[in-house]
Structure 1
Amino acid sequence: MDATTERLVDFALRAEFDALTAETVRECKRRLIDTFAGAMGAYNEALSQKARAIARYYSRATGASVWGSALQTAPEAAAFANGVMLRFLDISDTYMGKSRGHPSDVISGIVAVGESVHADGRSVINAITLAYDVYCSFMNAVDINSKGWDQPVYGVLAGVLGAGKLLRLSREQMANAVSLALTPNMALGQTRQGDLSSWKGCAGANAARNAVFAAMLAHEGFTGPTAVFEGKRGLWDIVGRFEWPLPASSGSLHMVTRTHLKSLPICYHGQSAVLGALDMRARLRVQDITEIQVEAYREAVAMMGNDPTRWAPTTRETADHSMPYVIAIALLDGEVTARSFAHERLTDPAVVNLMRKVKVSESAALSAQYPESMPSRLSIRMSSGEVFTAEVRYPKGHAKNPMDDAEVEQKFRSLFREYGDERQCERALQGLWDFDRATDIGNVLKLFLPVIFTK
């Protein structure tokens, strides 16, 4: 194995639950609550139903659960189906380093493996925090997005180390798992360009699936290409050499404490601007608006306001990554929810008319603040000539403006309503808060079974 693989493998093998701080464990449980909230909120969506249909091809008597259903399937199939659900609403956590991504994408695969081996909650939390450390530090080390690659590259590597930890892979097996995950799974950045497809919300789920499969291959003795990072046709050869510092001794990077939760089901780059719009809405008459100017940092403009499709979204996936659309919805409705992206709203004349008044531009001063903050400045000009302004640097849920526990719980409850009743919601929520006490995480997942199966 090359030196980078060796450092990663040794870092993973050293990771132990007892080395985690109480804050890290609690923040991991908050991420679990946040992630399951998004999944259950998306349970009835058409794409979630299609993902479960795929999982049924692999159904079996034992294995891993498709959350919210009685279906047991192969761990890699569960990783995909659950991964699609947790990402569909675009309300899962995010992290911004040199690149950007959604670390909670790893959770569906790690939980699937954990359930299949009857792991306890502490072991699964340890695997998740390890995967978060790898995912986020990988993003801090190299920007693969600018090279044309997509965030699942981070996810498949982080996920395979978490899955391998639960499968108790040896040092040699773990090295092969890393290679078997990375070599065949370089994902194209075209996923997030132009008119966005359903794959936008599936790419991370696919990485989770492939991470599980790679770990299983290594467990059964499959070997992967050597020097996957530093070899002649390895990752360095594709994206350039980079330094990736990892602790030389036992201990977590605690990156799970630094990711940002979302208060709105939209691309994270639009959170600040929309929160500013919602704050201003009560002070103005929408019908009197003549111009809306959004100033933001470079990455926000590139993702949400630098393509003609963002002014004419035809899919939900494009709409929740459209600055004009989410600003228009916020001002018209006074809220942005999962229902804001119903197909009929995409062509609503009131929405389309207001979108035409939105202009998006980069501010060099705001770009200089990213990624430490996610700043946006909103200026709304009225027919009277009056201008309303708002600037938000740290949207609610940002690591420097965190949701408190009550807000995380409220997010869970509001999204769980799309799936089950209040009584089941409270049982499931408590099960996630007690996740580290579970002797078998399968017992926690049973709390998400349809009520008919729990009576």
Structure 2
Amino acid sequence: MSTRHSREWERAVAEFLASSVDDSAREHGRAVVADVLAAAVAGSAALGVAGVARDAVFSGDEASILGTDRRAAPPQAAMTNAAAAIAQEVEEGHNTGGHVGAGIVAGGLAAAEANDVDGETFVDACTRAYEICVRLERAIFAMKDQMNDAIPWLVRNPHSTWTTVGPAVTSAICLDATAEELTETFRIAANLAVISMHDPYAEGAPARNFTAGFSAQAGVTAALTAIAGLEGSRAAIEAVYDPFEELLPDGFASQFETLGTEWAIAEHYVKPYPSCRYTHPPLDALREAIDVESVDPSSVESVTVRTFANATDMSHPEPETMTAGKFSAPYVLATYLCRGSVDLEGFTPEALADETVRSVAARVELREDEGYEAEFPESWGARVAVELRNGTTLTGSRDYPRGDYRDPMPDAEYRERNRVLLAHGLSGDQKDTARVDEALDALDTVAERPIRETVAALRP
């Protein structure tokens, strides 16, 4: 195999992958790993994911399917676990982009378990992959905007090239790839993209979640084939990535000059609510508006949301499926007005059919705001005006949602969130407290114990 790098930025990637991870970055990496694993356990019980995990014909037994007692070959386990990680819409993400960690953690976990890797090695591998993927993501988002102007259907993310590179790189490190094999893994994965031509979030088909799963599966396979001797394409690196230099304001190559000195993972966010993060700024603004007093849903004349453009896509008011509900700002806000919370139980078939919630959702209107749009994606803001039938107007606003790195969730609240997620996937309720406590402890100490021990704690 050749180790010659066709571009300096590719050399910077290779050097970074061989470098150490500082303690602060490692702690952020541990938090990302724990967050994704909790989300994946909860997602293992989701419609579609649970059926595949239970009934699909898999081969091998080297890796676990989280939330179940099944085992499979690493690519198949990665596919199912990555789909589970995004199914409940509660996994972490990066402030200026998509859900970077889901594929990295779910895909790399399968390889780490198969090779009996220690927790620190796995966390460090995930942290390195995260840094590379955030930088690829910035360019791919810029490319995506141009593609969406040229084609009749909408290219959706976060299920694209960086979600293939992430699990590929993490897996290769966990499988003890040589420097040459790691270079070829990156080249193979960097020329792969599992693209959802149209992400049917408003419809909420469970197959939507498996686009992330197929990305992780492709990433793990890229690592396995590189270790088996397959070489990637240097020409593809040049042809695909050179044009990115003109797409980004500061250029593409410059993104990689800061590897190891600027840790993008420090700006990851966590989700207090199991719904698309675009629904969170309006929800937090609503909470600010009404939490000082009790509001009877029947007294609400209208709810007007002003926010950034991407969030206004979440405007469908009558979701029919779990995923559709998670991508509906009217439904999420109406749920909070009627139930006082937005949690996993708010997206069951019974909850989605609640006529009171549906009636309030029909009164919610989303409007693009130039100010919030100008600040996006550095800030994800919204303001809400609740008009009551008695003529009173209640208002609230947020510059960014709760769980943002600038407004992190309190530790106790976040730990309780994870407890609920783990209980949902492991037992369906929270009665088996000892079992859930064991799983919580495993997440807290994921960097200090062998990965096989952590995985064992996340199985029924």
* Same fold, judged at TM 0.5 (above): yes
Q: Choose which of 6, 10, 18 in structure 2 pairs with 1:2.
A: 6
**Cα–Cα, structure 1 residues 96 and 248, in superposed 2: closer, same or farther, change >3 Å?**
closer
Q: Is the 8 A contact 1:51 1:84 kept in 2?
A: no
1:58 is paired with a residue whose SS is: coil
- State the identity %: 19
Q: What one-letter code is carried by the residue in structure 2 that aligns with 1:448?
A: L
Q: Is the 8 A contact 2:9 2:257 kept in 1?
A: no
- The count of aligned residue pairs is 436
Q: What one-letter code is carried by the residue in structure 1 that aligns with 2:138?
A: N
Is it true that 1:80 corresponds to 2:115 in the alignment?
no
Partner of 2:295 in structure 1? 284
Q: Choose which of 435, 438, 444 in structure 2 pairs with 1:427.
A: 438
1:100 is paired with a residue whose SS is: coil
Q: Distance in 1 between matches of 2:353 and 2:67?
A: 33
Q: What one-letter code is carried by the residue in structure 2 that aligns with 1:20?
A: D
Partner of 2:34 in structure 1? 33
Q: Does 320-329 or 250-259 show the bigger shift?
A: 250-259
Aligned counterparts, 1:7-22, within 5 A: 7=11, 9-16=13-20, 19-21=21-23
**Shift of residue 207 of structure 1?**
1.2
Q: Distance in 1 between matches of 2:459 and 2:202?
A: 38
Q: Distance in 2 between matches of 1:190 and 1:167?
A: 34
Q: Does 198-207 or 103-112 show the bigger shift?
A: 198-207
Partner of 1:446 in structure 2? 456
**Cα–Cα, structure 1 residues 194 and 136, in superposed 2: closer, same or farther, change >3 Å?**
same
**Shift of residue 257 of structure 1?**
2.0
Q: Is the 8 A contact 2:202 2:319 kept in 1?
A: no
1:245 is paired with a residue whose SS is: helix
**Shift of residue 285 of structure 1?**
2.0
1:205 is paired with a residue whose SS is: helix
Q: Distance in 2 between matches of 1:206 and 1:30?
A: 24
Aligned counterparts, 1:266-415, within 5 A: 266-279=275-288, 280=290, 282-302=293-313, 304-305=314-315, 310-415=316-421
Partner of 1:140 in structure 2? 138
**Shift of residue 237 of structure 1?**
5.8
2:359 is paired with a residue whose SS is: helix
Q: Does 207-216 or 151-160 show the bigger shift?
A: 151-160
Q: Distance in 2 between matches of 1:159 and 1:252?
A: 22
Partner of 2:115 in structure 1? 117
**Shift of residue 64 of structure 1?**
1.0
Q: Distance in 2 between matches of 1:292 and 1:121?
A: 47
Aligned counterparts, 1:101-180, within 5 A: 101-143=99-141, 144-146=143-145, 147-148=147-148, 149=155, 150-152=157-159, 153-180=161-188
Partner of 1:453 in structure 2? none
Residues 354-396 of structure 1 show CA distances to partners (whole Å, capped at 9, x for unaligned) of 1221111011111122222211101011111110001122222
Partner of 1:190 in structure 2? 198
Q: Choose which of 269, 274, 278 in structure 2 pairs with 1:265.
A: 274
**Shift of residue 238 of structure 1?**
9.1
- Structure 1 residue runs without a partner (length 5+): 451-455
**Cα–Cα, structure 1 residues 286 and 57, in superposed 2: closer, same or farther, change >3 Å?**
same
Q: Is the 8 A contact 1:313 1:319 kept in 2?
A: yes
**Shift of residue 126 of structure 1?**
0.8
Q: Is the 8 A contact 2:12 2:256 kept in 1?
A: no
**Cα–Cα, structure 1 residues 239 and 205, in superposed 2: closer, same or farther, change >3 Å?**
farther
- Per the normalisation by structure 1, the TM-score is 0.88
Q: Distance in 2 between matches of 1:362 and 1:201?
A: 28
Q: Distance in 1 between matches of 2:194 and 2:43?
A: 27
Q: Distance in 1 between matches of 2:333 and 2:136?
A: 32
**Cα–Cα, structure 1 residues 239 and 199, in superposed 2: closer, same or farther, change >3 Å?**
farther
Q: What one-letter code is carried by the residue in structure 2 that aligns with 1:361?
A: R
**Shift of residue 205 of structure 1?**
2.2
Q: What one-letter code is carried by the residue in structure 2 that aligns with 1:297?
A: F
Q: Distance in 1 between matches of 2:385 and 2:197?
A: 32
1:28 is paired with a residue whose SS is: helix
Q: Distance in 2 between matches of 1:319 and 1:49?
A: 19
- Structure 2 residue runs without a partner (length 5+): 149-154
Q: Is the 8 A contact 1:92 1:102 kept in 2?
A: no
**Cα–Cα, structure 1 residues 435 and 352, in superposed 2: closer, same or farther, change >3 Å?**
closer
Q: What one-letter code is carried by the residue in structure 2 that aligns with 1:274?
A: L
**Shift of residue 92 of structure 1?**
0.4
Q: Is the 8 A contact 1:5 1:175 kept in 2?
A: no
**Shift of residue 288 of structure 1?**
1.2
**Cα–Cα, structure 1 residues 258 and 54, in superposed 2: closer, same or farther, change >3 Å?**
farther
Residues 47-79 of structure 1 show CA distances to partners (whole Å, capped at 9, x for unaligned) of 22223136652243xx11112333221111111
- Per the normalisation by structure 2, the TM-score is 0.87
Q: Distance in 1 between matches of 2:318 and 2:87?
A: 20
Q: Choose which of 223, 226, 233 in structure 1 pairs with 2:231.
A: 223
**Shift of residue 227 of structure 1?**
2.4
Residues 211-234 of structure 1 show CA distances to partners (whole Å, capped at 9, x for unaligned) of 001110111012233322322xx3
Residues 78-117 of structure 1 show CA distances to partners (whole Å, capped at 9, x for unaligned) of 11111122211100011243x4334333101111111111
**Shift of residue 412 of structure 1?**
1.2
Q: Is the 8 A contact 2:135 2:256 kept in 1?
A: no
